[in-house]
Amino acid sequence: MSEQLLLKVRGLRAEIDGKEILNGIDLDIRPGEVHAIMGPNGSGKSTFSAVLAGNPAYKVTGGTVEFHGKNLLELSPEDRSHEGLFLSFQYPVEIPGVSMVNFMRAAVNAKRKYFNEPALSAGDFLKLMRRKRAIVELDNKLASRSVNEGFSGGEKKRNEIFQMAVLEPRLSILDETDSGLDIDALRVVAGGVNQLKTADNSTIVITHYQRLLDYIRPDFVHVLYKGRIVRTGGPELALELEEKGYDWLKQL
């Protein structure tokens, strides 16, 4: 425990439209760790990721979140991003007419501005794009297309990991990145995530299924149920869930 925590969540509660979804979450994540959060539909997995990222549709009603020592809940969504929090969306939204190149340039330069760095030149930016594209085998054409417009399910998810590669976050939250992926796309996406892994950055993998965890090995597995973490274990917990399903939770 000597190492500083990257993320420290204490008693986090949140609601949407007056309905409480998160019911007091505690979670510690250290640099370099991979945490899987599993649980049945409606247990609050996606809400947890949305609240961490600062989605204004959710209201935080209690608890604290520290992100490398900063009070995360006081930061705007864009500042959370600049500080190194990245959310890979379950359903990436389409933005017609806005090319991926322009979109990512706006994102990269907004972050540089936040850290008082000059904007990247067009040449340097395109070099960066090319380098990062290779990680998820995203072709050039995709990068010049409008953000997620007309992308297949697999392309959208690869595009999310591509953005993650460009922004180099400290904490990546992968919200059901495996949903809607065939096995080949899953391999590419997971391969990208693993390539981006370092001793300093951390990952939260939100998933229903053990399948993704065959590719992205978690250090910890948490079971979320009714807005709380009800069990925590190692990778073997995911296998147990695969075997037993989630019905046993109802007896808790």
Partner 1 sequence: MNSDKNTNAGDIIQDVTSGDYKYGFVSDIDTEIIPVGLSEDVVRLISAKKHEPQWLLEFRLKAYRHWLTLTPPTWGHLKMPAIDFQAISYYAAPVKKEGPKSLDEVDPDILHTFDRLGIPLEEQKQLSGMAVDAVMDSVSVKTTHKEALAEKGIIFCSISEAVRDYPDLVKKYLGSVVSYKDNFYAALNSAVFSDGSFVYIPKGVRCPMELSTYFRINASGTGQFERTLIVADDDSYVSYLEGCTAPMRDENQLHAAIVEIVVEDRAEVKYSTVQNWYAGDREGRGGVYNLVTKRGLCRGDYSKLSWTQVETGSAITWKYPSCVLAGRGSTGEFYSVAVTRNYQQADTGTKMIHLAPDTRSTIVSKGISAGRSENSYRGLVKVTPAADRARNYTQCDSLLLGSHCGAHTFPYVDVMNPTATVEHEATTSKISEDQMFYCAQRGIPAEEAVGLIVNGYAKEVMNKLPMEFAVEAQRLLSLTLEGSIG
Where does this chain touch partner 1 (CB under 8 A) — which range of 106-114, 133-141, 179-187, 207-215?
A: 106-114
C-beta of 68 vs 217, nearer to partner 1: 68
Rounded CA gap, 244 and 233, in Å? 15
Q: Does 77 bind partner 1 (CB under 8 A)?
A: yes
Rounded CA gap, 165 and 158, in Å? 10
| Binding-residue pattern over the window 143 to 162 for partner 1, x denoting contact by CB under 8 A | ---x----------------
**Which three-class secondary structure state does DSSP give residue 82?**
helix
Where does this chain touch partner 1 (CB under 8 A) — which range of 40-48, 74-82, 177-185, 220-228?
A: 74-82
Region 49-68 residues binding partner 1, contact defined as CB under 8 A:
53-57, 59-62
Query: CB under 8 Å to 92, separation ≥6 — which residues?
Result: 148, 151, 156, 157, 159, 160
Least CB distance from residue 20 to partner 1, whole Å? 14
Number of residues that bind partner 1 (CB under 8 A): 38
Of the residues 8, 35, 45, 111, which one makes contact with partner 1 according to CB under 8 A = 111
83 token code pair: 């500080």
In one letter, which amino acid is 157?
Answer: K
**Which three-class secondary structure state does DSSP give residue 35?**
strand
Sign of the alpha-carbon torsion through 154, 157, 161, 166: positive
| Binding-residue pattern over the window 13 to 52 for partner 1, x denoting contact by CB under 8 A | ----------------------------------------
Least CB distance from residue 184 to partner 1, whole Å? 26
Of the residues 48, 67, 86, 162, which one makes contact with partner 1 according to CB under 8 A = 86
Least CB distance from residue 185 to partner 1, whole Å? 21
Least CB distance from residue 55 to partner 1, whole Å? 5
In whole angstroms, how far apart are CA 191 and each of 30, 111, 186, 216, 230? 22, 26, 8, 8, 30
Rounded CA gap, 201 and 237, in Å? 23
Question: Is 85 within 8 Å of 52 (Cβ atoms)?
Answer: yes
**Which three-class secondary structure state does DSSP give residue 230?**
strand
The residues of the shown chain that bind partner 1, judged by CB under 8 A, are 53-57, 59-62, 73-78, 80-82, 86-87, 89, 92-93, 95-98, 102-104, 106-107, 110-111, 114, 146, 163, 167
